Amino acid sequence: MLFQTESLGHACVVKVPDSIFFDSVADFDKTIQEAEDSGSETVIIDLAGAEMICSSAITTLVKHHMSLQAKNGKLFIAGCNASVKKILHLLGLDKVIGITETVDDALNTRA
């Protein structure tokens, strides 16, 4: 799967074009790592194109949240549908990772 990135000021946005399953998690991880390595203080994962994400993708999100937090950065998840949002809520991730309706909302949120 091809994940696209876009720099927007202080943030790097990773656009997810489709559901993430185990076979695309390595590329997902690599793309987020490249966003982190770009020096952006904020990484926004745009899940508007994803209907579902697997547990390995969620683990990847947590890994990068922790990595960015250690660098005084921030990870946001934007545009996820109700099903994905419910999973993140059940796991308690909505308490530690910023979850916003849109990329613009994440860009305008200061942690």
**pLDDT tens, position by position, 29-83:** 999 999 999 999 999 999 999 999 999 999 999 999 999 999 999 999 999 999 9
Residue 19 is part of which domain span?
4-107
- C-alpha span between 40 and 72 (Å, rounded): 11
What count of Cα atoms within 13 Å lies in the side-chain half-sphere of residue 85? 12
pLDDT at 23 over 60: yes
pTM of the model: 0.95
Residue 110 binned pLDDT confidence (cut-offs 50, 70, 90):
low
Domain count, the chain: 1
C-alpha Rg value of the chain to the nearest Å: 12
CATH label of the domain that carries residue 89: 3.30.750.24
Beta bridge partners of 20: 53
